[in-house]
A and B are shown apart, each in its own frame.
Chain A
Amino acid sequence: MLTTFDRRGRRPRAGRLSAGLLALALLVSACGGADAADDGPAGDPQSGGTLAIGIESDTDVLDPHRAGGWVTYRVNRQMYEALVDEDLSKTSEEAPIPEIVPGLAESWEVSEDGLTYTFHLREGVTFHDGTDFDADAVVFNVRRMSDPTFEFYDDRSAGQTVFVWQHLQSVTAVDPLTVEMTMKQPFSAFLRLLTQGGGGSTGIISPTALAEYGNDEIADHPTGTGPFRFVDRVRGQRITLERNEDYWGEKPYLDSVVFRPLPDPSTRVSALRAGEVDMIAVPSPDSVSSLEEAGFDVATSAPPHLWYLAFNMTDPIFSDIRVRQAVNYAINREGMSEDLLRGTTNPAYSVLPPANSAYEASEEYFEYDPERAKELLAEAGYADGFETTLMTSVDGSGQIVPVPMAEYIQQDLADVGIRVKLDTTEWITYLTEWAEGIPAGTGMAQMSWGMTTPYWLRNVTSSTLQAPNGSNVGHYSNPALDEVMQQAATALDEATADELWRTAAEIVHEDAALAPIVNDKAPYVLSGDVQGFVNPSEEWYDLTSVWLR
C-alpha cells in the first residue's frame, strides 16, 4: 500500500480532487466534511516513503557554519552533526529543555577551572563522501570558524558562529579520537551553544569536501555525517535529502525527505489538504481548528520562541521607564493568545521563555491593567497620550502573523491613549533594518527569537552588543546588568549561572527594557500518515524517528 514515489497513491481521493476541484474540496473540508486520513491504529514503524514538508520560507545556504535562521537549520541538522547533540525525542511537556547528549563526541570532560574541554570522538563514523571522521576533521572545522590564519578560514562562518567560539583559545587534536579545546575564560553555556542553530551552527563538514569545493561552493555540495544525505536543491522549489545508509546511529525509517518552501500560510494549508505535502510548519492560527476537525494532527510545543517588543531607549518618550511600563501593562497578552492567535501561543510575561533553565514563572510582571497604564502615562506627563511608531515585518521565519499582532497591540495602546503608526516591511529588508537598530522617531520594534540557554538574554540586552554591533536594537544600557551577565556567562556551574541569569532577567524586567508578548507553541500540522514526529522544546526537530504508514 505504501510506495516510495507515489505519495498521493495513499490518498487517492484527495489527490484526484486536488487536480480539478481544489477550491471546492477546500471549502468542503473547511466545513469539516473531508476525511483527511484514515485514523486506524498506527502499528509498528515501517521503513520507506518520502516525507514532504511544507516550510515557511526558502532556506539560506546549506552550509551549517554560514547559514542563518531556524528554517535553514531544520534542514542542515538532518545532514550535519555537531560534537554534542540534544535529545529531541521528547516533547516540551516531557522535557522543557532538551537534554544535552553525545553527538559526534561520545563523551567529554570539562576541567575544574572550566577552561579545558576534552572531547572523545565516536569511532567508525564516516562522512557522506566516505572520508573518515576524526580529530583532524574537528580541528579543520573549528579553525574554519575561528582561526583567521587558517587556509580555509571563512569570514562569514566566523561571523555567524562567534557566539560559540568567542572565548576559544586553542583547539588541538590530541590523538585521532580526542580533541581538546581551551577557553580564555570559563564559559558555562558552551556545550549548549554547540547544539544551537538560530544563527550559524557547528555541524562538522567533511574536510575533503571543503578542500575540494572551497568555502563558497560547499553549500551546493553538503557533506556531513548526519542521518540524511543531500540529493538536490532547486532554489525556491525544494530540497531533497535521502537516507544515509552508512549512518552510525539509528538509521531513519524514511527513504527521503523533501522540504518545500511555501511562504504563504494559506498555500501551505492548501498543499497539506490536497496531499501535496505531509506536514507543514506554521499554519495560520485560524486554520488550526478546521485542520484538526478534518483529521490532521497538530503537534505543538513550548520552544524558546518569544515574540517581543524592544523599546528605543534613545527616544525622548520611551527613555522614560513609566512609558515602557505603561506599554507593558496596556497589552492584553491573554486576549491576543486566545482570540487573535486561537491558542497557538502562550502569553509571555518573562523575557526568558519557559524552555530555559533560568525561567521563573513571573506573571506578576505586567499583567494586563490598562488603568495602571493610564496612571503611569499621566505620571510621565502623557495624560493625553502621544504618537509613536512600531516597526514590524510583514512575514518571516518565526514571526507568527506579525501584522495582525501589531494591529492588536495598536488597538490596545490606543485604548490608553498611545497612537501607534505601524511601519511594515518585508522580512529580509526588515531584518537588515532591525539589525541596524531602531531608528530615531520609532519607539518600538518587534522580533521573535529565543534560545534554550539564558545566555540568549545577553544578545538582546548587553550594552556591548548595541546595534549595529549586536542585537540590542533599542540601545539599552545598564552597567549593573552587564556585570551580572558577565558573571553568569563565566560561572563554573550551571546552578550558579542560572541564579545569576534570573537576577539578570529581573533587572531587565525592572527596567521594562523589553515587552515580552507571547511564546509561540510552534505548531506543526501532520497528515494522519505521518507517525513518530516529535515537536521538541527547540525550534528544530529530528526526523530519524518519523515513519509513514
Chain B
Amino acid sequence: MTSTTLGQKVVSPVAAGDTVAAHITSRSRPALMWRALRRDKAAVVSIGILVFLTLVAVFAPLLAPYDPLDGDASQRLEGIGTPGHLLGLDGQGRDILSRLIYGGRYSLTVAVLPVLAAAPIALLIGMFAGYFGGRAGNAVMRVLDVLFAFPVVLLAIAIAAVLGPGLANVMLAIGITMVPYMARVVYTATVQESAKEYVEAARAAGATQAQILRQQLMPNVMSPLVVYGTSLCGLMIVLAAGLSFLGVGVTPPAPDWGVMTSDGRSVLLEGYGHVATIPGLVILVAALAFNLIGDGIRDALDPHKQTS
C-alpha cells in the first residue's frame, strides 16, 4: 500500500511519542478542536458564511421577495439592478435573488447529506478492511478498486438513471459514488494507526477488538475523514448540477444553484452573463467556505500547530 493519500498527509493527530495514556479521547477532541479552530480567522468566517446561507435557506419563505418558480417571461433575462429585482431575472423571467434564497435548500442539502450518508459506510468498510486486513479486507478493497475504475460522473449517471430523477435519488447516487473514495481514506489511516504503539498497548491491556476499534482507532481515523469530507462538499454541488444537466438530477424548475448556473450557460455570451455568474459565485463562496473549514479542522487537529 502506498501511503500518499490525502488522509495520510493531513493527519498526524497522534505524533510519534504517543502512548495509550496520551491518546486524545473522543470526548475532549471536539472541544480542543474548537479552541484551535476559533483562532483560524478564515475558518471562523467560513463557518459564519455557511451559517448565514443555511439560515437564509431555512427562512427562505420570509426572505424571498418573489415566488422562485413563477416567472414573467416578458421580463426575462433583465440584468442586475432591474427595478424590483436586485440581481435581475433568469431565462424564464424569474427573480434570481429569490431563486438563490430558495436554492440553498437544495444545494446545501446536496452538499452535505451525501457526504454525511457516505461517511459511516466508508468508516465501517475502511476500518474493517484496514484493521482485520487479510483476505476479507483485501477482497473488500479490491471491490472498491473496481468502482474506482469508473469515472465518478459515469457511475452517478448510471445509478441516478436506474433510480430515476429527483433530489433524493441524486443524493443517493452521489453518496454511493463517494463511498470508495472516503473508504480508501479511512482504510489508509486505519492501517497506519493500527501499527502504532497505543493500539498494541490497548491490546496488551486486554481491550477487546471492538473496544480497540471504537475507542482507540475510530477517533483517530475520523479526523482525516472529516477533513476529506468537508473538501468534498463543494464538489457535490457541482456534481449534482452536472447530473441535472444530463437530465438525471434535480428537475426543473427547482432553483438549485448548480442548475441555475448551467441554465445560464446558454446565454452567458449573449450579454446576459448575470444568469450564470451570480449562482456560480454563490457556489464558489460556499465551496470555498467548506474547504477552508476543512483546512481549519486539519490544522486544529495537527498537534504541532496546537502547541505552537
Nearest CB in chain A: distance from B160 CB, A:
11
Whether B70 pairs with A30 at a CB distance below 8 angstroms is: no
B104 within 8 A of A: no
Whether A339 pairs with B266 at a CB distance below 8 angstroms is: no
Whether B73 pairs with A287 at a CB distance below 8 angstroms is: no
Whether B73 pairs with A339 at a CB distance below 8 angstroms is: yes
Q: State the CA gap A464–B23 with chains docked (Å).
A: 77
Nearest CB in chain A: distance from B264 CB, A:
10
Q: State the CA gap A393–B246 with chains docked (Å).
A: 10
Q: State the CA gap A248–B90 with chains docked (Å).
A: 53
Whether A286 pairs with B77 at a CB distance below 8 angstroms is: yes
A494 within 8 A of B: no
A408: contacting residue among B92, B247, B265, CB under 8 A? B92
Chain B residues with a Cβ under 8 A of chain A: 69-71, 73-74, 76-77, 91-93, 161, 165, 245-248, 251-253, 263, 265-272
A266/B268 contact (C-beta < 8 A), A336-B73, A339-B76, A422-B251 known: yes
- Tell me which residues across on chain B come within 8 A of A425, comparing CB atoms: 247
Tell me the nearest residue of chain B to A389, going by C-beta: B251
A270/B91 contact (C-beta < 8 A), A339-B73, A410-B253 known: no
Q: State the CA gap A79–B93 with chains docked (Å).
A: 45
Whether B70 pairs with A266 at a CB distance below 8 angstroms is: no
Tell me the nearest residue of chain A to B272, going by C-beta: A286
Whether B269 pairs with A394 at a CB distance below 8 angstroms is: no
Nearest CB in chain B: distance from A50 CB, A:
26
| Of A201-209, A362-370, A399-407, the one with at least 4 CB within 8 A of chain B | A399-407
Q: State the CA gap A411–B165 with chains docked (Å).
A: 20
- Tell me which residues across on chain A come within 8 A of B247, comparing CB atoms: 393-394, 424-426, 430
The secondary-structure label for the interface of chain B is loop
Q: List 27 A-B contacts (CB under 8 A).
A: A23-B269, A30-B269, A266-B265, A266-B269, A269-B270, A284-B267, A286-B270, A335-B73, A335-B74, A336-B73, A339-B73, A339-B74, A339-B76, A339-B93, A340-B76, A340-B91, A404-B91, A407-B252, A422-B251, A422-B252, A423-B165, A424-B165, A424-B247, A424-B251, A424-B252, A426-B246, A429-B161
Whether A286 pairs with B91 at a CB distance below 8 angstroms is: yes
Nearest CB in chain B: distance from A368 CB, A:
13
- Tell me which residues across on chain A come within 8 A of B91, comparing CB atoms: 286, 340, 404
Tell me the nearest residue of chain B to A265, going by C-beta: B266
A31 within 8 A of B: yes
Nearest CB in chain B: distance from A329 CB, A:
18
- Tell me which residues across on chain A come within 8 A of B251, comparing CB atoms: 421-424
Question: Which of A265, A340, A414 lies at the interface centre, i.e. has the most chain B CB atoms within 10 A of its CB?
Answer: A340
The 7 nearest A-B residue pairs measured at CB: A339-B73, A424-B247, A394-B247, A26-B269, A30-B271, A286-B267, A284-B266
- Tell me which residues across on chain B come within 8 A of A26, comparing CB atoms: 269
A211 within 8 A of B: no
Q: State the CA gap A269–B266 with chains docked (Å).
A: 10
Nearest CB in chain A: distance from B89 CB, A:
11
Q: State the CA gap A329–B105 with chains docked (Å).
A: 34
A361 within 8 A of B: no
- Tell me which residues across on chain B come within 8 A of A174, comparing CB atoms: none
Whether B271 pairs with A411 at a CB distance below 8 angstroms is: no
- Tell me which residues across on chain B come within 8 A of A422, comparing CB atoms: 251-253
Please encode chain A, from 468 to 483, with 1 for each CB lying within 8 Å of some chain B CB and 0 for all others.
Answer: 0000000000000000
A340/B73 contact (C-beta < 8 A), A270-B269, A286-B91, A287-B270 known: yes
A27 within 8 A of B: yes
The residues in A between 336 and 363 inclusive whose CB is less than 8 angstroms from any CB of B are 336, 339-340
Nearest CB in chain B: distance from A406 CB, A:
7
Nearest CB in chain A: distance from B1 CB, A:
39
- Tell me which residues across on chain B come within 8 A of A3, comparing CB atoms: none
Whether B73 pairs with A408 at a CB distance below 8 angstroms is: yes
B253: contacting residue among A290, A340, A394, A407, CB under 8 A? A407
Tell me the nearest residue of chain B to A420, going by C-beta: B253
Tell me the nearest residue of chain A to B265, going by C-beta: A266
Q: State the CA gap A411–B247 with chains docked (Å).
A: 19
Question: Which of A31, A290, A403, A429 lies at the interface centre, i.e. has the most chain B CB atoms within 10 A of its CB?
Answer: A403
Nearest CB in chain B: distance from A515 CB, A:
18
- Tell me which residues across on chain A come within 8 A of B70, comparing CB atoms: 411, 414
Q: State the CA gap A423–B76 with chains docked (Å).
A: 24
Q: State the CA gap A335–B165 with chains docked (Å).
A: 29
Whether A394 pairs with B270 at a CB distance below 8 angstroms is: no
Q: State the CA gap A414–B246 with chains docked (Å).
A: 25
Nearest CB in chain A: distance from B71 CB, A:
6
Nearest CB in chain B: distance from A29 CB, A:
8
- Tell me which residues across on chain A come within 8 A of B272, comparing CB atoms: 286
Tell me the nearest residue of chain B to A287, going by C-beta: B270
Tell me the nearest residue of chain B to A427, going by C-beta: B247
Q: State the CA gap A284–B265 with chains docked (Å).
A: 11
Whether B266 pairs with A411 at a CB distance below 8 angstroms is: no
Nearest CB in chain B: distance from A477 CB, A:
29
Whether B252 pairs with A403 at a CB distance below 8 angstroms is: yes
- Tell me which residues across on chain B come within 8 A of A426, comparing CB atoms: 246-248
Q: State the CA gap A406–B93 with chains docked (Å).
A: 14
Q: State the CA gap A287–B74 with chains docked (Å).
A: 17
Nearest CB in chain B: distance from A440 CB, A:
14
- Tell me which residues across on chain B come within 8 A of A270, comparing CB atoms: 269
Tell me the nearest residue of chain A to B73, going by C-beta: A339
Nearest CB in chain B: distance from A427 CB, A:
9
Q: State the CA gap A407–B76 with chains docked (Å).
A: 13
Whether B69 pairs with A266 at a CB distance below 8 angstroms is: no
Q: State the CA gap A408–B90 with chains docked (Å).
A: 12
